[in-house]
């Protein structure tokens, strides 16, 4: 693994790196971001290069106060104002009509811009001291699992970044909810840390999923959040059948099963394991609450990858509340890989 140039908790230093056109990984309450000053085109280009991300996936502009949105959006609809009041700072990104004279518009997606005010104190200090607008995707290589600790960032990106601002493990653990306010009613493009139920309590009914006109909805690519191992996500009660199926496949291929499990503490794993002739290489039992499960999930997937399993079977919580974001990420990690 490459050695990181600098890693620490110095937000003022990190901000000076950004002002000079550098790239800094920083903590948010959701996942770590890979930030550049949103106004500096070359710095933003470096973020794309480090991530290996296609240029047609725009970055979220992170702000340190709601007023800064006006530098990027030409309009903040009333429902956006309500959402900002209810959930900022927090795990909610808004897609708004973009100001056509916004700085460094090159990286922005046509007529819209994504904005978010994160809830982590180090992120807010960094953004404010760096000039008020930090463009950042999650701090992983394109297609890999988002980092939820500074160690994850260092393992993924090594010394490709100029500084890693270490704010400890992320509290939410899955990415922000993305809500588009471009259409008639608000549309959830990506479920995340703020639940659909919470959003609807503020703005009424919402649409969910990509709009027909919004071709670049997030995470539509296969295996967008994927670990290296194959992954199968099952609902409660589906573990036994999944184990039996995998056991039969491994036998048919003449191989010993080599699998890892992510379950909830309350799942009855012992009973399900009777369905397979073999024991898991690694078994990780996560918190029973969706919030606890989400917080621990990406770390668990990384640990199972490190254990060298060929298949991860994950038992999902119910797909409501925060469970919707978990089901979305596990579904994408499983997509077209089995």
Q: Which residues bind ligand TXA (CB under 6 A)?
A: 28, 30-31, 33, 57-60, 91, 93, 95, 109, 112-114, 116, 118, 136-138, 175-176, 178, 189, 214, 216, 218-219
- Cβ proximity to ligand TXA: between 119 and 261 the closer is 119
CA–CA gap between residue 95 and residue 79 (Å, rounded) = 12
Binding string, 316-335, against Mg ion, x = CB under 5 A? Answer: --------------------
Kindly state the smallest distance separating residue 292's Cβ from Mg ion, in Å: 22
3-state SS track over 236-279? CCCHHHHHHHHHHHHHHCCCCCCEEEEEECCCCHHHHHCCCCCC
Q: Does 30 bind Mg ion (CB under 5 A)?
A: no
- Cβ proximity to Mg ion: between 276 and 324 the closer is 324
Token pair of 220 as six digits: 């539509």
**Among all chains, which residue has been given the structure tokens 């180090």?**
122
- Cβ proximity to Mg ion: between 138 and 149 the closer is 138
Q: Please check whether residue 332 is in contact with residue 191, taking contact to mean a CB–CB distance below 8 angstroms.
A: no
Q: Please check whether residue 191 is in contact with residue 174, taking contact to mean a CB–CB distance below 8 angstroms.
A: no
Residue nearest to Mg ion (CB): 138
Maximum C-alpha span of the chain: 63
Kindly state the smallest distance separating residue 224's Cβ from ligand TXA, in Å: 8
CA–CA gap between residue 26 and residue 166 (Å, rounded) = 7
Residue nearest to ligand TXA (CB): 218
Residues 109-138 that bind Mg ion (CB under 5 A): 138
Q: What are the residues whose beta carbons fall under 8 Å from the beta carbon of 245, sequence distance 6 or more?
A: none
The entry of ligand TXA, Mg ion, none near residue 280 (CB within 5 to 8 angstroms by kind) is none
Kindly state the smallest distance separating residue 276's Cβ from ligand TXA, in Å: 35
Token pair of 328 as six digits: 């979305």
Kindly state the smallest distance separating residue 299's Cβ from ligand TXA, in Å: 16
Task: Say what the alpha-carbon torsion angle 85, 63, 91, 233 is, to the nearest 10 degrees.
Answer: 150
The entry of Mg ion, ligand TXA, none near residue 17 (CB within 5 to 8 angstroms by kind) is none
CB atoms within 10 A of CB 129: 17
Kindly state the smallest distance separating residue 52's Cβ from ligand TXA, in Å: 12
Binding positions for Mg ion, rule: CB under 5 A: 138
């Amino acid at each position: 693994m490459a050695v990181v140039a600098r890693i620490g908790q110095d937000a003022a230093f990190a901000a000076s790196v950004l002002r000079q056109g550098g790239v800094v990984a920083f903590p948010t309450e959701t996942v770590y971001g890979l930030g550049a000053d949103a106004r500096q085109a070359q710095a933003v280009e470096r973020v794309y290069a480090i991530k290996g991300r296609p240029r047609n996936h725009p970055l979220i502009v992170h702000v340190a106060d709601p007023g800064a949105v006006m530098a990027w959006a030409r309009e903040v609809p009333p429902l956006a104002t309500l959402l900002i009041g209810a959930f900022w700072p927090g795990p909610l990104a808004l897609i708004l009509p973009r100001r056509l004279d916004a700085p460094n518009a090159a990286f922005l997606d046509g007529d819209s811009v994504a904005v978010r005010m994160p809830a982590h104190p180090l992120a807010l200090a960094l953004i404010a001291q760096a000039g008020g607008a930090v463009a950042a995707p999650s701090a992983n290589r394109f297609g890999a699992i988002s980092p939820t600790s500074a160690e994850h960032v260092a393992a993924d990106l090594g010394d490709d970044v100029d500084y890693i601002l270490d704010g400890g493990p992320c509290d939410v653990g899955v990415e922000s909810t993305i809500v588009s306010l471009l259409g008639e009613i608000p549309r959830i493009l990506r479920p995340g840390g703020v639940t659909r139920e919470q959003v609807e309590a503020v703005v009424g009914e919402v649409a969910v999923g990509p709009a027909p006109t919004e071709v670049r909805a997030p995470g539509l690519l296969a295996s967008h959040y994927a670990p290296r191992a194959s992954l199968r996500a099952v609902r409660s009660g589906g573990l036994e059948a999944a184990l039996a199926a995998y056991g039969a496949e491994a036998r048919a291929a003449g191989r010993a099963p080599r699998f890892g499990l992510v379950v909830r503490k309350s799942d009855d794993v012992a009973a399900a394991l009777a369905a397979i002739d073999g024991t898991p290489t690694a078994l990780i039992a996560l918190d029973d609450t969706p919030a606890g499960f989400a917080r621990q999930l990406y770390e668990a997937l990384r640990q199972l990858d490190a254990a060298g399993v060929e298949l991860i079977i994950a038992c999902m919580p119910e797909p409501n509340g925060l469970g919707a974001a978990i089901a979305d990420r596990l579904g994408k990690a499983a997509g077209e890989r089995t």
